[in-house]
Every structure is written in structure tokens, then in C-alpha cells.
Structure 1
Amino acid sequence: MTPARSHLVSTRTTPTYSILMPFAPPRPEQILPFAALTQWSGAHRLWQGQALLNQPHQAFVYAAASGFRVPVGIGVTLMPFTHPYEAAIHAQSVAAATGHPVVAGFGPGAAVLQRSTYGKPYRSPLTASREYLTAVRGLLDGEVVEQDGTYFTCHGKLLPVPRPPIEVGLGVLRPGMARLAGEVADVAITWLTPAAYLRNTIVPALREGAEAAGRPMPRLVSIVPVALAGPDRDAAALALTSNLGHLQLPHYVDMLRRSGIDTDSADPAAGAAALVEGRAFLYGEPKVLAEEFAAFHEAGVDEIVLNVTGVQGLYGGQAALRELETVLAEVAT
């Protein structure tokens, strides 16, 4: 039986903590230690973003077939790569294979990606995102979708499959997309967004969109880049390794500047130092990080996803696993 729309609103007094795969695994078995940590620790969910090899759907199904069936989140896959119908099939297949709830998150991607696949950038990323999420949500709700959109046309219905619930998420960086998420998404997913910016800009826009649509505000998930302090570590180097690509993308630069973090795509090293100073990249001892996470929850975040890609990039997979274990032991019960 296909579940109805969830549109869940958290009533938690504390946030849940989840894990982001800190790299896109070129071999599927490389996901297994992180799936195992999710299953055996206080972590709530295992997340993976867009990949160009071993897409998250494939990796999660591989982990499930290997005995590690855990709740998963896809945050986010990029709309230009996949038609909404296939995206809905992917999400439904993962839920059926894992036996756990799935968050299927989507985003329009950068203008250069839209141009390379669509032929030109979306004139309105908001319209494209509305069409995409509306089609995917309708398909997953068991509806017959009849949509002739400006960007996405979809006519069809999914075969019914017994499975756990699937929440449809939207990647959110700026107020316009946040208002749209408030209208049409089950989950708003942020990346590299400081707590104060979430509190002052994103959450009010989410609430505005939800109230305009007459529906509850979607859950807010924040993927937070983080590293433990150490005598041999350089916080700015970790932040640069974690976020070099984002520091060069115009929509991330714009979001960071709106949050008060001055970055320049031509100087990502200086931008990385600014991320640390502006608390978009969290660095410190476990108790210090716990205090920083509390600010995210106070801002309205329901689920904090630990992103240790900087540690993975500089120190390797074993160090990343130890990092996650240490942080989870401090914050997740």
C-alpha cells in the first residue's frame, strides 16, 4: 500500500544526527563501513549526494543487499540528469530494497550544468523545481500524473509497490527556493548554511511558503561540514578540501554573502578561511561542536547531517570513520 503524503513537522526537543557519505564510492563495497556505522551507532540516517559513479540509489541498494538496511537520504540529486518518472522509480526502488524510509532530495544544479544537459539554463529554476517535485510527489503518492510543464512533461503512474514512506526534498540555499520548499516539499535540505542564516532567512521563508499553501512547514535538514580540532590540523585547509567546488559556484557564493561570509570564487583559499570564521564550517573539540549544533537546532533544524569530507580528503577513510564515531558519541543518544 502506497503511503499518503507525509508533510511531517518535527516535534523533537533535540535534533537527530545523521551521516553523509564523505566521498562518492568508486566501488560499491566502500559504502559498507559507513552503512554499518549508521546501523550500529546513534546515527539516524545515511546520506549521499549526487555522484557520477555509483549513484546513491545503487550504493544504498548494494548496502541493503549486504545486510546493512538503514534509513537513507539522497541529498541532492540534480534534476537535469533524470526525468521525474525515473527519479520516482529510483526512490521507490530504494525504499523497497532497504525496508526503511527514504528522503529523496532534488535540486536544479548550477546554470552551467543546466546548459550542458538542457541546452540552456532554466529561465526560472523555481518553476523547474516546482514542476519536478510536483510530478515526483504525485507519482509516489500513487496518482496519475498529467503534467505538461515548461521544463518537465510527465504523463503516467507508478506501479504500486509495498514500501516504507518516501519524503520528497528540495535543496535550499536562498529565500526563493525556501519559499517554494515550504509550498511543495516534505523536506528542505541545506548545505553549507550557517545557523544564523537559517534562523533569520531560510526558516522564515519556509514558513511563509507553507502558510501561503495552507500546509505544515516541511522538515529542515542541514548538511553541516565539520572536523575535530587537532594539533596537526589546519581548519582552513580542511574547509577548502571539503568545499572547494562550492566556493567556486555563483549560487553558493551568493548564499554565503547573504549570510555575512565574504567569499570570492577567484580566491577559494580565502573563502575557506571565511567559512571557518563565519561558522559555516564547524571546527573544534567535541563539546564545542555540540554547542554549535545546538545553535542549528535552535534555528529550526530537525536533522543535522555530519559532513566530514574534509577529513576524508586529507586523512582518509579510517580517519573519517573515527571522526564520525567520536562526534556521534558526544551528540547522538
Structure 2
Amino acid sequence: MRIGTNVGMEIDGPKTMTDIVDEVRRAAELGLGGAWWAERHTADALTAATVAGLAVPGLPLGTAVVTTYPRHPLTLAGQALSVQAAVGNRLTLGIGPGHRERVESVFGLRFEHPARHTREYLRVLMPLLRGETVEFDGKIYQVAGQTRTPGAQAPSVLLAALGPVMLRVAGELADGTVVVWTGLRTIGTHVVPGITAAAEGAGKPAPRIVVNLPIAVTDDPDLARAWIGEHFGRAGLVPSYRALFEREGVRGPADVVVVGDEHAVERQLRAYADAGATEFIAVPFGSPEQINRTLTFLGHVNRAAAGSEA
């Protein structure tokens, strides 16, 4: 299981573009398996990935995730392929429809028929990324066009999918899924079987299953969980996340994070790999010392895993 890390999260304060590049460079130096960007009200994720990718060669890059509703698939295809051409085809494009509260209150758009929206979006986006001409006449999208970007290969596309319908869409049309706030039981009994069956039914290869969670290597796991409860407790109010916590049988975000000393964290990461996760995106948190301890250890684990697979 490859281990990367989120960058530019601003958990410990605002980040300039130089700060973000430094985070990515540090991740590469520590031996982590990738740098990922969440969509936040700061630097644009794909632009930041381009800047960092040009400054730090070799490291895989990804978005987890950018929201589809405010982006036409033809526009996103052109942007993603431009990033690919700039960074030497190292991008994983993670996308998702987002949540009703954010789409409607922040973007002022109507969050209607998210599964239909996502299915049509991918039916347009995937061939565009391959450089094909698209003529699509759906209920939501009517698209006629093509995107040509010399030197760009189609990036791997991950869909943020939590419920059974979206997991089916991810398995049939995307290359895998990226999930957040998802516990071990839910990965093993819900996410992996659902998306794998859909991919097999569509005649596709085994999907990528990317788990995105806060993580802390610490000698005080109770304090770390309390920190998550204070800073991310409101995630439990989002309906789709609340359904996840109920499925997992836990109360909220603090109960699904990965925390403990080095041995405990390694055991938890191994359990996610055994459950079927192919990659892990670490969101380190806490004091600067705790974040550094966490990233240093995760770099060691990732290098060891890569060495064993070589």
C-alpha cells in the first residue's frame, strides 16, 4: 500500500505557494509516495500541483478531490491534461460531486440528481481525457468537443464515492475511488466489495482504493482524538459522513482516525492494506513536532513497502 500525504491543508496556519512547494519537497525527501491536494478556499488544487510538480520532479501528484458541479467536464479535461503535460504525466485526478450544503450555499448551484450528474460527467470526461472527440446528449450534459494536449497522457481518475450507487459508478466508469472519514470495517465490507464487483462487471481492471484519513504518530492517542473532535467534529453533521459513521458503528471523526505510537500506527495501516486499500493519503495533524514525527515514520513505512514490492 503506497502512502502519500495531503499538502496545503493549512491545519497549522496559512500556506503560501512557496510553503506548499516546501511541503511537497519535504514529502519527496522523506520517501513518501505522493502529494495530494484537497479543494479548499485557498490555492487552486490543480494549479498548485503544477507549480509543485515543476519544482519537485518524480513525485506522484493527485487531487482528492476537486468538485464537479462548478466545472464543466470539457473545461476540467483541458486543465487536467495541461497539468499532465507540465509535470510529465504524474497526475491522479480525484473528482467528486461534493455535498449539497457546499454546492448550494457556496457555489449557488442546485445539487440535483448527484448520481446521474456524476455518471454523465464521467461518460463525457473519460473519453475527453483520452483525446477522443465526444458527442454526448444526456439529460444534464450536452457536449460536442475534443481536447488535444501534446505530450499529455490520460490521468488516472478516482471518484469520491461513499454510497452503493456512487461506488457502482466509480467501478464502472472511473479507475477507482478515494474515500474520506471511512473506517476499517466500512472499507472491508462495503467499499472494496462494492467497487470491485462493479469493475469486474464492466470488464475493468481491479480498481484503485485510496483511503484519506488524519493520522498522528503520538504517545497520547486520546489527546490526538480530542484534537480531531475539536477541529473536525462538524464533519459528523454532513449527512453522507454521518451515514458512514453509522455504518462503521462509531460516533464521529475522532473514532476513525489513525493514531498511536509507531507500532500501533503501522498495525493500523497494515489492517487497511489487508482490507483492500491500495493507497493511503495521510493528513498529519497536531503540533509541528508531531507532524514531523508522523511524516518521518510514514516515509520509512512507504520506503519499506516499496522495497518489498520491488
Regarding TM over 0.5, the answer is: yes
Relative to structure 1, the CA distance from residue 245 to residue 143 in structure 2 (aligned partners, 3 Å threshold; closer, same or farther) is farther
Per-residue deviation at 1:111?
1.1
Look up the match of 1:160.
Answer: 149
Q: CA RMSD in A?
A: 2.1
Q: Find 1:306's aligned residue among 276, 282, 291.
A: 282
In structure 1, list runs of 5 or more residues that go unmatched.
1-14, 263-270
Match of 1:200 among 189, 203, 206: 189
Picking from 276, 299, 309, the partner of 1:328 is 299
Partner of 1:188: 177
* 8 A contact 2:216–2:259 mirrored in 1: yes
Amino acid at match of 2:264: V
Structure 2 unaligned runs (5+)? 305-310
Give the Cα–Cα distance (whole angstroms) in 1 for the partners of residues 157 and 182 of structure 2.
20
Alignment of 1:18-33 (within 5 A): 18-21=4-7, 23-24=9-10, 26-33=15-22
Within the candidate set 257, 261, 264, 1:288 is matched to 264
Q: Is 1:121 matched up with 2:121?
A: no
Alignment of 1:117-156 (within 5 A): 117=107, 119-122=109-112, 124-156=113-145
The whole-number CA distance in structure 2 between the counterparts of 1:92 and 1:180 is 22
In 1: Cα distance, 2:15 partner to 2:32 partner = 24
After superposition, give the CA deviation of every residue in 1:8-61 in whole Å (9 maximum; x if it has no partner).
Answer: xxxxxxx11111115156421111222112322321111011122211111112
| AA aligned opposite 2:142 | T
TM-score by length of 2: 0.89
Query: Structure 1: how far apart are the matches of 2:205 and 2:44?
Result: 31
1:97-152 CA distance string (max 9 Å, x none): 11142110111111123334464321x21111111122111111111111233333
Confirm or deny: 8 A CA contact 1:101 1:165 kept in the other structure.
Answer: no
Alignment of 1:1-333 (within 5 A): 15-21=1-7, 23-24=9-10, 26-68=15-57, 70-116=59-105, 117=107, 119-122=109-112, 124-231=113-220, 234-241=223-230, 243-262=232-251, 271-272=252-253, 275-276=254-255, 280-308=256-284, 310-311=285-286, 315-316=287-288, 319-333=290-304
Between the aligned partners of 1:290 and 1:242, the Cα distance in structure 2 is: 24
Structure 1 SS opposite 2:65:
strand
Contact 2:220 2:260 in 1 (8 A): no
Corresponding position of 1:265 = none
TM-score (norm 1): 0.83
* Superposition deviation, residue 252 in structure 1: 0.5
Off by >4 Å, runs of 4+ in structure 1: none
